[in-house]
Chains A and B, each alone.
Chain A
């Protein structure tokens, strides 16, 4: 692994694929075609095929508290990348609603253009940011590149780690992703290295438009540290309906990974038309003394099905899950975590804050399992729900399974609403009801927001308030 960084171009990989799409539908040929288009080596093609064949034997999961319209998997185009997003000529062509949102969030104009899909070739700043960024990382021996590049340049690492935490047999969508994943990010932090900056997909130009089947792999080798940011607080323009991403994290001995997400895909309109289906499998494996912390702020997507999890395999490893999930209008979210305690003295902590408004349905679903060998495992879970309005639903579905008598597991949940008294008090001090709700909701979610890197947290706060507009009468 010392050789990472100076590796040569090996597999005749070509990045100059014509912009084209293949016909709708999924078959072995399509899987082969995707792999060929991406110039992948034979072993990768075989992996994809194996996943595809397994996927054929599976049915979409139905256990979540979600109403999912039937998805015709033969009606989806599985290869459209690396098509650049549709470029708009200028900000004038951008949807006024989207522009208003950007302004409220206080996003710089350049970023607005990039996010809205306006041609950003002229935005030199962000390019230079990217360059300095890459140089700093290279000095430390940190690898941060697209999955396609990684398959080409770091095949040993990919063969060792890809699918090691989320195998293609894991679930329906993980199998689908393993078969057809478009691209994604790969990140490797060598032994003992602390990544000096937060890694964000935003900085990687080819992260944009990676499409619906994104694949992320993060490996923190022994004693390494990295904080990784996924997504962006601004609403991403996206035409894909189905997103089935997989994120795998390997946290080796004494290493630490913080993974933060702000998910704000298109949630559909006020009547519940359109919007992204976000069916994501995220999981990390912790070795001895390792620590993995998931923080997520979920405000977008029409349907969210997502359970970032930790397998605490090594002794003394620690898993954390901090989540704010907000749903409004006709959004549905079924999200939570799994903490699997295998090693001794493993500890986990779950803090989940659900906020439901409008006619939305918001569920926390969690599993805490203490295996027989997990002596002195410890878990604490706190799941709170806040209801705004009488048409929404807030649900909690935890499962606790303990097979070791020295373990201590505690779960608490409460449900509440924003009280008239609180609103009246704020109104009396001159706040509008919307501002008051924003304030109260942010206070409610503070414990989770505090876990986000600072700039992210500020934007997430604004986002929560914004997302609730019009939900309080």
Chain B
């Protein structure tokens, strides 16, 4: 697949074996291709970038640990049917930015544990399902310490007879005061037989918290389509541009090398065929 090759050529450092320990303060971008099991540890105060590519049918298990004050920016890209379990454990003051991209049938289960005070996690993900594809994005964010912040956004597009599922959970443990947690899931159905199921859930056992979640399924802003048509775009053009933008907002969050641009092109290419 073209995207696979272009990611390979992007100059990331390949990961060999099933463990990666990062103890550099200057970030290096790593690439792990079709990992079975991979344990990544970012040592205290260190930083790194990591791209995980599921380009062949995979059952991946990814365990990421961020030490105190560590920072990681990671992206998980699904280009082949895959089942992936991702766990991220974050110590105090660590920060993690995640981008997840599901281009084909895949089930992603992501568990984020904010274990140390002041840890931050930002996740932006999308799936684009066509034909009879079935994408599942499960994000469980656990706030187990005080003063942590999490913000997850997943956007889904389902065409044809595809199915998209979002299962979100923000869990705030007793005592995890001053938690700031946000979770958002927005979906667009393009296909006549397509289906979206979404479960944005909250389980909260502390009172001094700011938690919110939202989920939407449905058409995008009709005013915007009208506006674009006034500038001469056909309704179809306006709608596809809008959907590209809808996914694009999530993709642009990714700051790893040229990945954001590559993903944007791949999204446009897939949408065009839908």
Chain A residues with a Cβ under 8 A of chain B: 65, 370, 372, 385, 387-417
Contacts and interface: CB of A to CB of B under 8 A. Distances in A.
B201 to A, nearest CB: 5
B216 interface: yes
A405 B191 contact: yes
A411 B202 contact: no
B208 interface: yes
A413 B201 CA distance: 9
Contacts of A392: 205, 207
A393 B205 contact: yes
B198 A400 contact: yes
A390 B197 contact: no
Interface in B175-227: 175, 177, 187, 189-219
Given A400-B199, A403-B195, A409-B218, A395 B204 contact: yes
A411 to B, nearest CB: 4
Interface string B42-68: 000000000000000000000000000
B174 interface: yes
Given A398-B199, A409-B215, 12 more contacts: A399-B199, A400-B199, A400-B217, A401-B196, A402-B197, A403-B195, A406-B219, A407-B217, A408-B218, A410-B215, A413-B202, A417-B207
A411 B214 contact: yes
Contact of B174 (A372, A388, A390, A397): A390
Contacts of A412: 212-214
Classify chain B's interface size.
35 or more
Most chain A CB inside 10 Å of its own CB: which residue of B198, B202, B207, B216: B207
Contact of A416 (B177, B193, B210, B216): B210
Given A390-B207, A396-B202, A413 B197 contact: no
A395 B207 contact: no
A232 B204 CA distance: 31
Contacts of A385: 202, 204
B214 to A, nearest CB: 5
A387 B210 CA distance: 11
B207 A389 contact: yes
Nearest to B177: A390
For B190, B194, B206, B218, the residue with the greatest tally of chain A CB atoms inside 10 Å of its CB is B218
B210 A402 contact: no
Contacts, number: 110
A372 B161 CA distance: 12
Question: Interface SS of chain A: helix, strand, loop or mixed?
Answer: strand
10 contacts: A387-B204, A391-B174, A395-B201, A395-B203, A398-B201, A402-B218, A407-B189, A408-B217, A413-B213, A417-B208
A413 B195 contact: no
A408 B200 CA distance: 16
Interface string B137-150: 00000000000000
A131 B40 CA distance: 78
Contacts of B216: 408-411
Contacts of B195: 401-403
Nearest to A363: B203
A399 B167 CA distance: 9
A393 to B, nearest CB: 5
A414 B175 CA distance: 19
B197 A415 contact: no
Given A405-B191, A407-B218, A395 B202 contact: yes
A402 B201 contact: no
B189 A404 contact: yes
Contact of B199 (A397, A403, A406): A397
B170 to A, nearest CB: 9
Nearest to B190: A405
A395, A404, A413 interface centre (most CB from chain B within 10 Å): A413
A401 B207 CA distance: 30
Interface string B24-51: 0000000000000000000000000000
B194 A405 contact: yes
Interface in B217-265: 217-219
A411 B197 CA distance: 13
Which of A388, A404, A405, A414 has the largest number of chain B CB atoms within 10 A?
A: A405
A349 B208 CA distance: 29
Q: Which of B190, B205, B219 has the most CB of A within 10 A?
A: B205
A390 B214 CA distance: 24
Contacts of B198: 399-400, 411
B214 A410 contact: yes
A415 B199 contact: no
Contacts of B189: 402, 404-405, 407
B200 A413 contact: yes
Given A405-B189, A415-B202, A396 B213 contact: yes
Nearest to A402: B217
Contacts of A396: 200-202, 213
Contact of A387 (B187, B196, B207): B207
Contacts of B191: 405
Nearest to B213: A413
A141 to B, nearest CB: 43
Which of A388, A399, A402 has most B Cβ within 10 Å? A402
Contacts of B215: 398, 400, 409-411
Contacts of A370: 217
A395 B199 CA distance: 13
Nearest to B220: A408
Top 5 nearest A-B pairs (CB, nearest first) are: A408-B218, A405-B189, A387-B207, A415-B211, A396-B202
B209 A415 contact: yes
A187 to B, nearest CB: 36
Nearest to B187: A402
A94 B205 CA distance: 38
A409 B219 CA distance: 9
Given A404-B189, A407-B218, A414 B201 contact: no
B204 A394 contact: yes
Nearest to B167: A399
A402 B163 CA distance: 10
A390 B178 CA distance: 12
Contacts of B190: 405
A392 B198 CA distance: 26
A394 B210 CA distance: 12
Contacts of A413: 200, 202, 212-214
Contact of B204 (A393, A400, A407): A393
Given A390-B207, A405-B189, A411 B200 contact: yes
Contacts of A401: 195-197
Contact of A417 (B194, B201, B209): B209
A203 to B, nearest CB: 40
